[in-house]
Structures are given as C-alpha cells and as structure tokens.
Amino acid sequence: AIILGIETSCDETAAAIVVRDQSGRGTISSNVVRSQLDEHAAFGGVVPELAARAHVEWLDHIIAQAVAEAGIALKDVDAIAATAGPGLIGGVLVGLTTGKALAASLGKPLIAVNHLEGHALTARLTDGVQFPYLMLLVSGGHSQFVLVRGVGEYERWGGTIDDALGEAFDKVAKLLSLGHPGGPAVEQIATKGDPARFKFPRPLLREQRLDFSFSGLKTAVRLQAEALAPLSEQDVADIAAGFQAAVTEIVAKRSRQALERFRAELPEAEPQLVVAGGVAANRAIAAALETVTREMGARLVVPPIALCTDNGAMVAWAGAERFALGATDGLAVEARPRWPLDAPGMKVDGHAA
C-alpha cells in the first residue's frame, strides 16, 4: 500500500510517502521535513501559536513536494495517515484537518496516528525489527521505556517524572547561553570539557524503578553556573561535560535495568533495544548504549537520525502498519493533546494481513 504521512505535532512540518509491500517491508519514497527552528530561535523554545501558523502556511507545499518527489499523484495513495496527537494542539489540528480534507476529497481512508507510535514503529521500517522489543524514546517532549509487543500493543515501563531528556539538554544550553536547540550545542562544547570537574547529581539512580528525573540535575547545573558567573569558555565546557556525563550514566544504567526486566519477563524473546527521539543523535549516549547492549547480549537498533527526530515517514509507516491490519479511522476522530501509548483504544481489533 502507498501511504501519505503528515506530521505537525511540534515544530516540524513534515510529509512523506511510504510504501509497504505484501511481506511487510517498507520503502520511503519521499520524506520532506521543514523545521521551524528559525521561527522559534529568538524565543529560546517552541512558541505554539507561531508553530501552528507556520504549519498552516507550509503544509500544503510540503505535501505537494512529498508527492512530487515520490513520482506519484495524490490520487495514487491508498490511505492518508496524519498525527492526531500527542503534541501542541494547534499544530495537530492543522495536520489532522488537512488529512481529513484529503481523505474526504480523494475518497481514501484516514488513519489517525499516535505520534509516539510513529517513533515506536520506525525501527521496523528502517531495520525490519520484529516484535517484541524494548523502546527507549528520548526526545524533546518524551523520555520513556516502552515494551512494544505489536502494533498498538504497548506497555509503558517507566519514564520521566518531570523534564524530558531533550528538554533538559535544551534548558542547560539556555542557561549556558548556547542557543536552541540545546542538545547538539551541549554535546559539541562538552567535547572540550572535563566531565570530572563537577559531579552533578544522578536523581533516582539508586532506586530500582525505571523512571527518570532530570529537573533536579538541571537545577544543580544552574546553581553551579550561577556560583561561577561570569563563566569562562572552559567553565561552560566543563559544566556541559559534567551534565552530559551525568545523563549518560543515568540512561545507561536505566537501560541495563530495562533489559534485565525484558530478559526476565520475555525469556523466549531476543533482547532488543530500539532508540527513538532526537537525543539518539548524542554520541556519548549512543556509545554508552552500545556498551550496555553488548554486555547484555542484546541487539541495539538506532535508526538514522533523520528518522529518529520528527518526520512524516514515521507517521506514514505507523499508518501503513495499521492499514495492513484493517485499522482506519472515521472523519470524526479528534485531535488529542495528550495521548499515552498505553491508552485504551490503541489496540487493533482487526485481523493480521
């Protein structure tokens, strides 16, 4: 099936054409992403109202470009998949309403995609990963471990009780005046720093549950920065390195625990850890996850970074997986600002194709 995917839940206006063949293999025919970084840069974060307006302005062009790059016509698509949440409601409404309008005018089915399901299933598109697997989603808005048993079958094993990891990177970057988005900037300057100069806290790390907490760490970083102000370039690098070392240790230890639980609960299954979200781009964290999975005898899957951050292909693919199971949505389906992966109704009732 040929699926158009539309993504507008945050600050990327994105559309893609993905083809899923009979055997369940996916191919990306086009994947167009327009990031709104420039629109929001001056504000040090995403401004929801500006984001929604930019989606309105750009989405039609992005869809047209995705269709053209795929070398097809709009009428050739078999279904339209649009993110219906979770995310910034203004943006979600723009994408979902556009998806509904296209579905209605073309007479094609609509699939209302949970954005997190898009992240969760991407590794099946890129690496053909089989169920079940453990997903670590670490992005600007989410940080969680999810057991992925099948399409629509998710068990949340733990997650952040305050800030998301990408958000923590962004806030640390802001208080070190490194600009937005913070992750790449913090990572870059951390390479010049001494991670041992400051020993930042590792919140919750002694506890056994699979949760994260990053806000206390961020506060410790702020207090350190204030104590040293004005900061030299070396101070900034050392703080960034200390922060990155702390979060890397936290993510590595939690991932080890999560894989131990996977082995205990699913002894028959091959242990697999799939990483999703923009923080997957961080080399220190990726290297730590490589070590953990090697030591645990588990498979590590990190999709290409352009597919880890928000994009239309992941939405098209999640739509394709649902479409193959006969799961489509009516045009009355509503946008949902909050929509956890383990919410009721995620499960597909249909039969396997």
CA-based max dimension of the chain: 63
| Residue 7 binds to Fe ion (criterion: CB under 5 A) | no
233 is known to lie in a ligand binding site: no
| Alpha-carbon span 34 to 44, nearest angstrom | 18
Q: Which does 187 bind (CB under 5 to 8 A by kind): Fe ion, ligand ATP, Mg ion, none?
A: ligand ATP
Q: Which of 7, 117, 170, 310 binds Mg ion (CB under 5 A)?
A: 310
If the CB atoms of residues 184 and 216 are measured against ligand ATP, the closer one turns out to be 184
138 is known to lie in a ligand binding site: yes
Q: Residue 175 burial (CB < 10 Å; 0-12/13-18/19+)?
A: middle
- Per CB under 6 A, residues contacting ligand ATP are 9-10, 87, 139-142, 166-167, 169-170, 181-184, 187, 277-279, 281-282, 309-310
Q: Which does 169 bind (CB under 5 to 8 A by kind): Mg ion, ligand ATP, Fe ion, none?
A: ligand ATP
CB of 264 to Mg ion, least distance (A): 34
Q: Which does 29 bind (CB under 5 to 8 A by kind): Mg ion, ligand ATP, Fe ion, none?
A: none
If the CB atoms of residues 271 and 278 are measured against ligand ATP, the closer one turns out to be 278
170 is known to lie in a ligand binding site: yes
167 is known to lie in a ligand binding site: no
| Alpha-carbon span 233 to 16, nearest angstrom | 42
Q: Which does 126 bind (CB under 5 to 8 A by kind): Mg ion, Fe ion, ligand ATP, none?
A: none
71 is known to lie in a ligand binding site: no
Q: Residue 74 burial (CB < 10 Å; 0-12/13-18/19+)?
A: middle
Residue found by looking up tokens 């590792």 in the block: 202
Inter-residue contact 119 to 87 (CB < 8 Å) = no
Residue found by looking up tokens 């991670």 in the block: 195
142 is known to lie in a ligand binding site: no
Q: Which of 310, 311, 315, 317 binds Fe ion (CB under 5 A)?
A: 310
141 is known to lie in a ligand binding site: yes
CB of 15 to Mg ion, least distance (A): 15
- Strand partners for 231: none
Instruction: Tell me the C-alpha to C-alpha distance, in Å, between residue 80 and each of 14, 117, 332.
Output: 13, 16, 15
- What is the phi-psi region of residue 299: left when phi exceeds 0, alpha when psi lies from -120 to 50, beta otherwise? beta
- Strand partners for 28: 18
CB of 281 to Mg ion, least distance (A): 12
| Alpha-carbon span 211 to 205, nearest angstrom | 9
Q: Which residues bind Fe ion (CB under 5 A)?
A: 139, 310
> Known binding site for substrate: residues?
137-141, 170, 183, 187, 282
